[in-house]
Amino acid sequence: MEDKFDLYEWNKKRYLGELDLNVDYGGDDPKIGAEEESDANVVGEGSDPKENKLEQELSKFSNNVSVQMGKYSQDRPDSDPLKGKGYGTVKFITRNEFPDNEWNQILNVIKDNGYEITQDSNYYDMEPGEREWFPSVNFIFPV
């Protein structure tokens, strides 16, 4: 009969500190096949200073703002307009829309940081039991 992994026992040992886990890599355990990753790949670790700066500047408009950035794959043809570009999204987790003058100030802060706005939506909506849409801005920038 095949030996089966006992998740209950593993979690108990993990809780009691009886496992030899590699805590330098987010608690990954290569012995059980968990993938090791760098801190830059762990949520909240190694975030981009550009994200932090923009989020800090936009926090004066809302205390619940999220900025996420990445870059497009660079193995694109030279004719591709996204070659050498990064992308980003700003999302305001708020259950209302911003007044027009405040929304324009938000857009100006993003533009003043050198980002090209590709789409913006000062819109909040909720479908009960489904999902919510929050005010957001999408942008691109050179990498």
Query: Number of structural domains, the chain?
Result: 2
The per-residue pLDDT for 54 is 93
CA neighbor of 58 nearest in space, from 127, 136, 141, 142: 136
> What's this model's pTM, rounded to 2 decimal places?
0.65
Q: Domain for residue 18, yes or no?
A: yes
pLDDT at 117: 95
**Same structural domain for residues 32 and 54?**
no
Rounded Cα–Cα distance for residues 22 and 54 (Å): 34
Position of tokens 């794959």?
73
Same domain, 86 and 32: no
Q: Which of 75, 73, 65 is nearest to 110 (CA)?
A: 65
pLDDT tens over the chain, length 143 residues: 567 888 888 787 777 777 765 544 444 555 555 544 444 545 444 467 889 899 999 999 988 999 999 988 878 888 888 888 999 999 999 888 999 999 999 999 999 999 999 999 998 888 888 888 899 999 999 98
Give me the pLDDT at residue 22, please: 53
Q: Which residue range(s) make up the domain with 112? A: 49-142
| Distance between CA atoms of residues 124 and 96, nearest Å | 6
